[in-house]
Structure 1
Amino acid sequence: MHNRAIKKEANLFFQGMAPLLNHSDEFQNIVLGDLAKLVRICGQANGFISSKQLLAFLMTYALIKQDTDKLKATLNQWETTPALCREFEKKTLKILLRLTHNSKESDIDSLSLPAILNRMDEQGGSNRLEPT
């Protein structure tokens, strides 16, 4: 997948999640924590975390947090030089580790979002996780 497609998919994910992300900052952190866990799970399965996975995560992170500096980095600077790309990759890895640092190794494989969405569905009479 090309970086342009990754950026587009991250933006579509953000747009789809926007109604839920408006609930609270804590909910945003839960979503980002689960995304960080997913990136780590993929990294463990592959033996490494790719630059494209880091780009997708940072783009999504920047959109959710409305972090203009990180958004600018993903949109305009990520691909300028290999050295700058490595710098952004390192910063992104630090964010991933910060978001998952309280997770025990056994918790890395378990996501919080499905249980929360199920609870919200029970309270609101909706069914977000059912296939359409």
Structure 2
Amino acid sequence: MNNWLRSAEIGQELQEAWIVQNAVVYVLNHSRHLILAGRQKELVDALHHLLSIVKATGHSGDPVMLVTLCNTLARGLIISWIPAVATEKSRKLVRANAFHSTLDAGATSEIKTAVEVPPP
């Protein structure tokens, strides 16, 4: 992971968006098992760093890569605040209160950051 992050930094230094794009794709592919397991929170720092590099260099004409990066980062920021899937019987009870739950300060901060993730 560190090598791919470093290659993205080198791509930024050289102003070569294609190098940054390849680094992002490698990180997303390498981390696919974490993403599928709902463990995006472990990737937040790396993805945030990559997004800042992409913002500085551009996305090399690949909107799919950019949206995937932003979506994964946003989900990593808010995944711990998304309620677990309830059983069918209790789902009706959960829906009634889903929009009335209060958030602690940590949740508010992470959700605000997630909302601000949209691409450059």
Q: TM-score range by the shorter chain?
A: 0.3 to 0.5
Structure (1 or 2) with the larger CA radius of gyration: 2
- TM-score, length-normalised on structure 1? 0.36
- Tell me the TM-score normalized by structure 2: 0.39
